[in-house]
Chains A and B, each alone.
Chain A
Amino acid sequence: MMGDKLLFENVSKIYGEGDNKVTALDNISLNVRAGEFVAIVGPSGSGKSTFLSIAGALLSPSKGRLLLNDEDITSLSPKKLTRVRLEKIGFVFQSSNLVPYLTVRDQLLLISELIGKRDKKTMKKADELLSHLGLGHRADHLPEALSGGERQRVAIARSLMNDPEIILADEPTASLDSKRGRDVVEMLAHEVKSRNKAAIMVTHDERMLDLCDRVVNITDGKVFG
């Protein structure tokens, strides 16, 4: 269906072989539309990280198809997948995923550097994103000088730097207290809405779920809801 930013079609992921076989994802179908903010919840070992890895072009599914912005990325080579991640996906990981020796502005410019065009325009874009997320005064600071919440806001700014089709967040509030955690998720939700992006967030924190448009429950590799 047109308008889907991300589409899982009967996706399964099986780890290992023979007796050690683990079915981490079992025939999952799911779509995320532009402007939609989806939360993934589920008990430990249910397959959330596996799901996010496949959505993030970090892992190939064992079965099924995966479409990103209507483009089939299921059987792309690892090299092409790296390019897809760089140009079409924004990541917000758990704590400390910033490069320790880069200033806040350079964290964003790194993405432009990786894409291969770091110039005045991207510099301006980085500064805009930072002031938009309330980090303008922090642009020249190193991550070590930031609070946990500020760091995750930098990560959100970074994830927007490449104008992604979809933003994937892996427990972005895991290392924050609930007040700060909620601020970060609110900010993420706001950016997703205002820029009409799609986003998926894996979380353990039930209190964030009201900020999401849809909650998907994964249990034993199967989707409910």
Chain B
Amino acid sequence: MFLAIRELKHSKLRYLLIGLIMVLVALLVFIISGLANGLSSDNASSIQNMKADYFVMEHDSKNKLNRSIISMEKLDEIRASSDVKAAEGLGQMMITLNKVGSSEKTDVTIFATNASGILAPKVIEGTNYDNKKQGEVVADSSLKEVGYKLGDSLKDDLSGKVFTIVGFTEKQSYSHSPVVYMNVKGWQEINPALKNQGNDSISTIAVQMDSKAEENVRESLPEDLTLISKDESLQSIPGFKEEQGTLTMMIAFLFVIAAFVLAVFFYVITLQKTNQFGVLKALGANTSFLAKSIVGQVMLLAVACIAISVALTYGVTLIMPEGMPFELSTNLVIKYSLLLLVVSVLGSLLSLYRVAKIDAIEAIGRVS
């Protein structure tokens, strides 16, 4: 560190410039990951917040909720298993609702479940819907932002059914659309796929259980059913995988860029200092002393830059517009900060290799 700190102080401009690049790259990492997180919950908060660990799906559904149809009888069979802590049926479909008395149309996702079961929404305003009474729904609070309020009526054009908002819940979205909760019967009536069946069906069975029991439960399922984890079910939400994949790839590239920029910068500086390192080695500095000095510099620089960009990131979140899907957990910030640090140190390895190759003997018989 003796050399590292003194050199940083001496060549301020040089290290400021590379520091600036590092700050920008780190800032981009944090902002994009905040955006990825924000978009992910904007997309799928209903599933993420659901008190379920696994979902039982119809085997041929390709894990897509809207294609899966399971007979209600299966729910009792699954609940009977000793591995399952709790289970509840869920019906799902995506429809467009008309606000009665206006030309307003809204795309929503219908979740149909037992109003007193484990999947029932947490009502923050109004009351919960009734399991028996038809036509009551609880809607995600984002509908309020587009002008809906308690008591408003919504009409499904296809079936002609009308629903009334009796309550609002929050943080419930699916495939970027607000979720509207209703009882299972109501959903069965408006679902065209069930229309002529007359069966008591649902889309999926959400299961609470230990991951250790996964194999057991899967084995015990009949052939036409399959078990997927919550994460797998997220991945099968329309657009979720693509959206997250793109952003994740951007973040990965930023890490690679950070590593390369630092690697090239320190390599060039090390090349410039070949003579100096030769003299130092002749004086009795071993490679590890010089290596520590370089890694020390990289670490100091990286830590400072990461700290600055974390501060900037939180600054940016303050001036972000209200509806911006941006969510950054402290955990993730710490994780990415450490990862950036590791990547920076990896970038200096090329220079260390170079330093190890320098021979002390070059100090003798040299004119400059």
Contacts and interface: CB of A to CB of B under 8 A. Distances in A.
Contacts of B361: 53, 58-59
Interface string A67-104: 00000000000010011011100010111110111100
A94 B366 contact: yes
B249 interface: no
Contact of B289 (A53, A114, A170, A174): A114
A87 B279 CA distance: 15
Contacts of A94: 366-368
A82 B363 CA distance: 14
A170 B7 contact: no
Q: Which of B284, B289, B366 lies at the interface centre, i.e. has the most chain A CB atoms within 10 A of its CB?
A: B284
B102 interface: no
B282 A85 contact: yes
A49 B283 CA distance: 16
A221 interface: no
Given A85-B282, A93-B279, A170 B6 contact: no
B276 A91 contact: no
Nearest to A111: B283
B3 interface: yes
B364 A53 contact: yes
B190 interface: no
Interface size class of A (residues with CB under 8 A): 35 or more
Given A82-B284, A99-B276, A113-B2, A91 B11 contact: no
A100 B7 CA distance: 9
A49 B365 contact: yes
A79 B280 CA distance: 14
Interface string A35-71: 0000000000000010011001011000000000000
Nearest to A116: B289
Contacts of A85: 282-284, 360
A83 B10 CA distance: 29
B190 to A, nearest CB: 76
Given A53-B361, A101-B10, A110-B2, A93 B284 contact: no
| Size bracket, chain B contacts | 20 to 34
B199 to A, nearest CB: 81
A58 B278 CA distance: 11
B364 A97 contact: no
Contacts of B286: 79, 82
A164 B364 CA distance: 18
Interface in A157-176: 158, 162, 170, 174
A191 interface: no
Interface string A18-34: 00000000000000000
30 contacts: A52-B364, A52-B365, A56-B364, A58-B360, A58-B364, A59-B361, A79-B286, A82-B286, A85-B282, A85-B360, A86-B284, A86-B285, A91-B283, A93-B366, A94-B367, A94-B368, A97-B363, A99-B3, A99-B280, A101-B9, A102-B3, A106-B2, A106-B6, A111-B284, A114-B284, A114-B285, A114-B289, A115-B284, A118-B2, A170-B364
Interface of B: 2-3, 6-7, 9-11, 275-276, 279-286, 289, 360-361, 363-368
Given A87-B284, A101-B11, 19 more contacts: A49-B364, A53-B365, A85-B283, A85-B360, A86-B284, A91-B282, A91-B283, A93-B279, A93-B282, A93-B363, A94-B366, A94-B367, A94-B368, A95-B368, A99-B279, A100-B276, A101-B7, A113-B2, A170-B365
